[in-house]
Amino acid sequence: MFQKLKQRWKVNTINLAFIIATFAIAGSLCGQSAANLVDLLVINKNISWWLVYLFVVTILWPFFILVVSVPLGQFTFFKNYLLKVGLSITGKQIKTIKVAIFASGAGSNAKKIIDHFRNNPLVTIELVVYNKPNVGVLRVAANEKIACLLINKKIFEEEGSYVRELHDFNISFIVLAGFLWKIPLPLIKAYPNRIINIHPALLPKYGGKGMYGRFIHEAVLDGKEKESGITIHYVDEFYDHGNIILQVNCPVEENDTAATLAGKVHQLEHHHYPKVIEDLLKNLK
C-alpha cells in the first residue's frame, strides 16, 4: 500500500511518512475541535448533533491540514492536494500547462524544477529535451518517467527547430536549464515570451557564446568583481540577451575559487528558478 502511495504522489519514504503524520495529526485536532464547537451549541447527541459535527469537520479539515503541514514541511504538497480535491468536487476540468525542459548536462536545475511541480495539478513537466547522449539529465527524467527527446544540431538550427515535435507533446512553455545551444528564430516565434533561461552571472556582463559553467566563474574572478549571481530572462535569438525577469546577487569573497563561487550560484539557481517559473505560469494566457 505504501509503495502505491509513493508512486501515486511521487514522494520518497520520508515525505510519505510526514504526509501520513499530517493526515493523522490534523484529523485528530480537527475532530476534537469540531466536537467542542458543536457541544457549545447545546445540541442533544443524536442525529442532529452528528450532522452538525460532520458539517463542521468538513469546513475545518482543510484549515487544520494546511496548518499542521507547515512545521512538517508538507505545505506545498497539501496546498496542491486540496486544490486538486476542490477542482474534483466542483467538477471543473483540470487543464494543465505542459512544460518542456531543455538541458545539456547533469540536470540539477531540472531536478529542482521537477520536484517543485511534482504534485501541482495545474503544471506538468511533460518533456525533457537534450542534445548529448548519456547526459545526467536522462537519469533524472527516467526516474520521474518523463518523456525525452534527443535533438540533432542541424535539424534544430536549420530544419524547423523541432516545433512540430513540441506541439505533438502539447508543450506550452519551455525552460532552459543548462542548455548550451542558441535557440533558433523559428522556435522563438513559435513560443513568444514562453521560453526562459537562467544564466549563472549578472547579465549583461559575462554572457554570450562560450560563457557557461566554470568559464563564467573564472571570468568573474579574473574581473575582480565584488558580486556575482543569477539572471533569469526571456530568450531571444541572441545568446543571453532577452528581457530580464529577475536578478539575484551573491558576494564574491577574496578566497573564492571558481568551484566555491559556482556553489553559491547553484544555491541561488535552485532556490529561485522554480519559483519564478511558477509565477510566470500563473499568468500564462
Q: Which residues are catalytic?
A: 199
Distance CA 195, CA 187 (A): 9
Cβ distance 225 to 256 under 8 Å?
no
Cβ distance 125 to 174 under 8 Å?
no
Peptide bond into 251 cis (omega under 30): no
Strand order in the sheet with 173-176: 147-150, 123-130, 97-103, 173-176, 195-199, 227-234, 244-251
Give residue for cell 519551455.
174
Grid coordinates belonging to 28: 485528530
CA angle 207, 210, 211 (to 5 degrees): 35
Phi then psi dihedrals of residue 137, to 5 deg: -65, -20
Distance CA 264, CA 202 (A): 13
Phi then psi dihedrals of residue 81, to 5 deg: -60, -45
Grid coordinates belonging to 59: 469546513
Cβ distance 185 to 220 under 8 Å?
no
Cβ distance 143 to 173 under 8 Å?
no
Cβ distance 173 to 194 under 8 Å?
yes
Grid coordinates belonging to 231: 539572471
